[in-house]
Amino acid sequence: MSRQRRRDTGPELAVRQRLHAMGYRYRVDHRPLPELRARGDLVFTRARVVVFVDGCFWHRCPQHATSPRHNGEWWRAKLDANVARDRATDRRLADAGWRVVRIWEHEPPENAVARIRAVLKAALGPPRSAPRPAAPPRP
């Protein structure tokens, strides 16, 4: 388990690269709430949106989850605890006013980016129609 990457996984990088190319800026591997153990893979602090890119094995994907045969009871308890912790994290973040987006590692990056953009648009509201006023000229 120590060899499992905590950040910069392939699926996470694919989503980050696409969002960055579109002009979005975010924090990486950041705790949205200081008292929370969970660290968001992408955190949009101003919009209060946190994105988790979940691995199919570790978070029990309904399509691709597998259960190890050796030491099965221990693994079942471990993976069930991961899922329960994910749900508790989602609730705590929602209670604090954050929007949570969970993406599976097998989800096409284009689909994931579209979902994230929709949540960001809803969180930030419509774009400003009037441009910001120019700064006055310096004397």
**Shortest CA distance to 102 belongs to which of 66, 67, 60?**
60
Could you tell me whether strands 27-30 and 99-104 are parallel, antiparallel, or unpaired per DSSP bridges?
Answer: unpaired
**Shortest CA distance to 110 belongs to which of 26, 21, 39?**
21
- What CA–CA distance (Å, rounded) separates 4 from 132? 45
Q: What is the pLDDT of residues 51-104, one digit of tens each?
A: 999 988 888 888 887 888 899 899 999 999 999 999 999 999 999 999 999 999
Position 137 scores a pLDDT of: 77
Q: Order of strands across the sheet with 27-30?
A: 27-30, 40-44, 49-54, 99-104
**Model's pTM, two decimal places?**
0.82
- What CA–CA distance (Å, rounded) separates 102 from 85? 13
Q: Which domains, from first to last, does the chain contain?
A: 24-124 (3.40.960.10)
